Every structure is written in structure tokens, then in C-alpha cells.
Amino acid sequence: MQEKEWILKAQKGDGDAFCALIGQYENKIYNIAYKFMQNSFDAQDAAQDAIIKMYGSIRKFSFQSAFSTWMYRVVANTCLDLLRRRKPSVPVEEYSDAVVSREGNPAEQTENNELGRSIRAAVQELSEKYRMVLILKDMEGLKYEEVAEILSITPGTVKSRLFRAREKLRKILEEKQIV
């Protein structure tokens, strides 16, 4: 069955069609949530909340944009809502960051894990409007037009915010002597 058929059936209340549709995006939903939330526990909660929101509002999906664009918007907004309600906290240390692969130099991998954590922490210091653009464009690899549609801004605004976000991120990393 094609995506459009699943959407149309889900809009009529077919739970199986909705599950099949979301099954196609499950990993992407979690990955987006993880980039915003910075730990697996909060990412799982955010992903689940986003899926519940999508289920509740699938009838409103009007095919004006791609389903994936709508999905990105719901996940990003869900994560931002959760982050606004919470006090800033230090991300939970991920087990996967502590595991050293048998491939490569363990010291080098530890350094790479630390650098990755430092960069993710620096991204979290950016204001919401810069963080969203940076995550969607640089981390998720979306096109300027897709980011613009998700955030309801123009592609020109995406480009200028992305430029500023990268500059601010560079300054944060320099201040912390990470780069």
C-alpha cells in the first residue's frame, strides 16, 4: 500500500493504516527527537508524544505538503514544547557513548565521543530559532525549502538564521576551547 492510501485510511479512523504509516517513519521520528532532547529517555517520550499528536490530528493533514514535512513539524514542535516546560538539565550519559567499539583506536573513539557530546551541548545553548534551523538543515540534511515549510518561514530566513546559528555555535565552541 502506498503512503497516500495509508493516510486516507488513517484519516477515516483506520488504526492499522496509521500504524503502517508511522512504521515507515519510526526511526526518523526518534532520531529527530533525540537531536532535540539529547538523551534516549526524553527522546522516546517526545517521539511517543509526537506520534500521539499525529494520530489525533491526522484528519487535519491536507496534502498541502509532504507527509514527512508535516511529521517533522509535529516532532520538532513537540520537542520544543517539552523543552520549554522543563528546567535545563544535564543530558543523561548515554550507554552507547561509553561503549568503545573493537574497531579503531579506543583513545581516538573516546575523544570523538567527547567532542560529539560537547558539540551537542553547544547546540543546546543556541536559542530555539537557531537550534531548530541547525538541527533540521545540518543534522537532518533537509533542503532550505523543506526547513522553511516546516518552520513556516521563508527560505531566505532559513539561510540567514543558519548563517547566524553556525556563527554562534562556532563562538560557543571557541569559548569552551573545543575547536
Is residue 153 a part of any domain in this protein? Answer: yes
**pLDDT number for residue 152:** 87
127 & 73 share domain:
no
Rounded to whole angstroms, how far apart are CA atoms 25 and 108? 33
Closest by CA to 83, choosing from 35, 27, 17, 119, is: 35
**pLDDT number for residue 106:** 55
Is residue 148 a part of any domain in this protein? Answer: yes
Is residue 99 a part of any domain in this protein? Answer: no
> What is the domain-level CATH number for residue 159?
1.10.10.10
80 & 152 share domain:
no
**pLDDT number for residue 115:** 77
**pLDDT number for residue 114:** 77
Is residue 158 a part of any domain in this protein? Answer: yes
Rounded to whole angstroms, how far apart are CA atoms 83 and 90? 12
Q: How many domains does the chain have?
A: 2
Domain limits for position 30: 3-85
Q: Which of 85, 119, 144 delimits the end of a domain?
A: 85
Question: What is the pLDDT tens value at each position of the chain, 179 positions in all?
Answer: 699 999 999 999 999 999 999 999 999 999 999 998 888 999 999 999 999 999 999 999 999 989 999 999 999 999 988 888 875 443 433 333 433 344 555 555 555 677 778 888 888 899 989 999 999 998 888 899 999 988 889 999 999 999 999 999 999 988 888 76
pTM above 0.95, yes or no: no
Q: In this structure, are residues 65 and 149 in contact, taking their beta carbons and an 8 Å threshold?
A: yes
- Say if residue 36 is exposed, middle or buried (CB neighbours under 10 Å; 0-12, 13-18, 19+): buried
